């Protein structure tokens, strides 16, 4: 029984630590720069570039394979991430706050991308394939819990601090509030690093790869790009989340923008509550349900349903942009529908990457998969702000619905690559 429960002592915290900097760089930065007065086009362009470390991380994934253990890389990158979070905090009161905060956020993204390589490789080394499948829903859930902490609890805290500093008639309400937020985030990340230094297991397979030199560096790329079905797999990795890549960049500005600009005019606190209450529960239920379904039925039988779950709930944003409701709970309910669909549908994407990376140099090959995943999020997201400002929120969300078409097309291409039967049944 103790052995069976052991993964529970580190999987939730490890993937929360993996999701936290991702939430800060990809999501929390949107709210921060919106509160600092940047336009949607500026926000999506600047924060879109922050995906770059995740896109190019396969270039240094062989280095993580060849030098040090995955466990060592996890702890070191968490310490580095905590230091960079403190750097963001200290940059906010300055005159060039946007420039220097973006620089520290880029360093956080680089550290986080390296952490992803190590954590995902560690996950595959520490668990057998059956447990990998069982815990995939849970790891996605705790990753998304960190993302929703960035969208929910942390934003609520920032909103409350903004109100506090406004009441004290501070001349720098936004920078003062967010400075405190990033200092607290740095402390949390340092604590996670200390915890993992004690609780992470030491799998016998967690050793540096024996290959060295240029041949060793190129081996994962050679193996990855020579895999059967590489072109359909790349299409799946790039386009399965084509609609979501655009929606995730505009959802936050839409909820925060004034009604005169077509938004819902939510306060920072209400925005955080919308994502941190009902949306949080929906995400957990969706992620766990998706993982359990895959463990029982297999990816081949479930992938169409998961593609539908990922895309169809985006219709709630069409409704919100047309109805402009004022009720926080009505808005939160719509957010919950979208979050449940995302939590349920994204498990298919994760399991596909795990199985496509199965074999020698699995951690580096999985990192290459996630690099293409990041590219699929980066490029559509960068132009989404410009497109939204061009056509407005209602037409933009209708475009999001149309953007689901590539997702269904690449599912059809990916199905032959899913080996039948998948050994995804729990004991």
Integer Cα distance of 272 and 150 in angstroms? 8
H helix or E strand, kind and range, residue 375: helix 362-391
Q: Give the count of alpha carbons within 13 A of 163, CB side only.
A: 9
For the stretch 32-46, pLDDT in tens is 888 888 888 888 888
Residue identified by tokens 């790039």 is 238
Note down pLDDT in tens along the chain; length 427 residues. 344 448 888 888 999 998 888 888 877 888 888 888 888 888 888 888 888 888 888 787 777 777 778 889 999 999 999 999 999 999 988 788 888 999 999 999 999 989 888 888 888 777 766 677 677 767 777 887 787 777 778 888 888 888 888 877 665 788 888 999 999 999 999 999 999 989 888 887 777 766 556 666 777 788 888 888 899 999 999 999 999 999 988 988 898 888 888 888 888 888 887 776 677 778 778 888 887 888 788 888 888 999 999 999 999 999 999 999 888 888 988 988 998 998 888 888 888 888 787 777 676 777 788 889 888 988 898 888 889 989 999 999 999 999 999 999 999 998 888 766 444 333 3
H helix or E strand, kind and range, residue 401: helix 393-402
Domain containing residue 194: 9-416
What CATH number does residue 409 fall under?
1.20.1250.20
Q: Is 423 inside a domain boundary?
A: no
Position 363 scores a pLDDT of 67
- Token duo for residue 182: 């990033």
Position 425 scores a pLDDT of 39
Q: Is 91 inside a domain boundary?
A: yes
Q: Is 93 inside a domain boundary?
A: yes
Position 129 scores a pLDDT of 63
Q: From 312, 355, 361, select the one nearest 337 (Cα to Cα).
A: 312
Q: Is 424 inside a domain boundary?
A: no
For the stretch 133-183, pLDDT in tens is 677 767 777 887 787 777 778 888 888 888 888 877 665 788 888 999 999
Position 426 scores a pLDDT of 37
Q: Is 285 inside a domain boundary?
A: yes
Is residue 95 within 8 A of residue 206, CB to CB? The reply is no
Q: Is 422 inside a domain boundary?
A: no
Q: Is 284 inside a domain boundary?
A: yes
Position 108 scores a pLDDT of 93
Position 289 scores a pLDDT of 86
H helix or E strand, kind and range, residue 335: helix 328-356
How would DSSP label each residue in 23-71?
Answer: HIIIIIHHHHHHHTT--HHHHHHHHHHTTHHHHHGGGTHHHHHHSS-HH
Position 308 scores a pLDDT of 94
Tally of structural domains, the chain: 1
Position 2 scores a pLDDT of 40
């Amino acid at each position: 029984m103790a052995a069976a429960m052991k993964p529970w002592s580190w999987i939730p915290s490890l993937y929360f630590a993996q999701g936290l900097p991702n939430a800060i760089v990809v999501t929390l930065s949107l709210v921060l720069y919106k509160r600092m007065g940047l336009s949607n086009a500026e926000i999506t362009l600047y924060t879109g570039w922050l995906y770059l470390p995740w896109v190019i991380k396969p270039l240094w994934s062989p280095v993580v394979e060849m030098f040090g253990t995955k466990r060592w890389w996890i702890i070191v990158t968490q310490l580095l991430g905590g230091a960079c979070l403190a750097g963001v905090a200290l940059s906010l009161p300055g005159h060039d706050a946007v420039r220097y905060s973006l620089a520290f956020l880029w360093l956080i993204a680089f550290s986080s991308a390296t952490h992803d390589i190590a954590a995902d490789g560690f996950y595959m080394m520490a668990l057998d394939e059956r447990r990998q499948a069982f815990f995939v829903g849970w790891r996605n859930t705790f990753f998304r819990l960190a993302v929703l902490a960035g969208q929910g609890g942390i934003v609520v805290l920032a909103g409350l601090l903004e109100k506090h500093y406004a009441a004290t008639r501070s001349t720098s309400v936004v920078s003062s509030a967010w400075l405190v937020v990033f200092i607290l985030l740095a402390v949390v990340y340092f604590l996670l690093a200390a915890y993992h230094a004690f609780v992470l297991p030491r799998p016998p397979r967690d050793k540096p790869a024996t290959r060295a030199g240029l041949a060793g560096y190129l081996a994962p790329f050679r193996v990855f790009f020579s895999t059967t079905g590489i072109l359909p797999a790349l299409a799946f990795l790039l386009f399965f989340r084509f609609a979501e890549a655009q929606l995730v960049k505009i959802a936050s500005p839409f909820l925060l923008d004034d009604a005169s600009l077509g938004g819902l005019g939510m306060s920072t606190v209400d925005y955080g509550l919308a994502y941190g209450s009902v949306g949080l529960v929906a995400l957990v239920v969706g992620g766990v349900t998706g993982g359990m379904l895959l463990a029982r039925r297999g990816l081949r039988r479930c992938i169409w349903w998961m593609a539908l779950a990922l895309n169809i709930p985006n219709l709630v944003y069409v409704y919100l942009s047309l109805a402009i409701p004022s009720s926080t709970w009505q808005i939160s309910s719509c957010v919950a529908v979208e979050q449940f669909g995302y939590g349920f549908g994204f498990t298919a994407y994760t399991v596909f990457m795990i199985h496509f990376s199965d074999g020698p140099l699995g951690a580096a090959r999985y990192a290459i998969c996630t690099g293409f995943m990041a590219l699929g999020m980066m490029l559509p997201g960068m132009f989404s702000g410009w497109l939204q400002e061009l056509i407005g929120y209602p037409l933009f969300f209708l475009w999001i619905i149309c953007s689901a078409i590539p997702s269904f097309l690449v599912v059809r291409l990916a199905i032959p690559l899913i080996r039948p039967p998948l050994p995804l049944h729990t004991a």
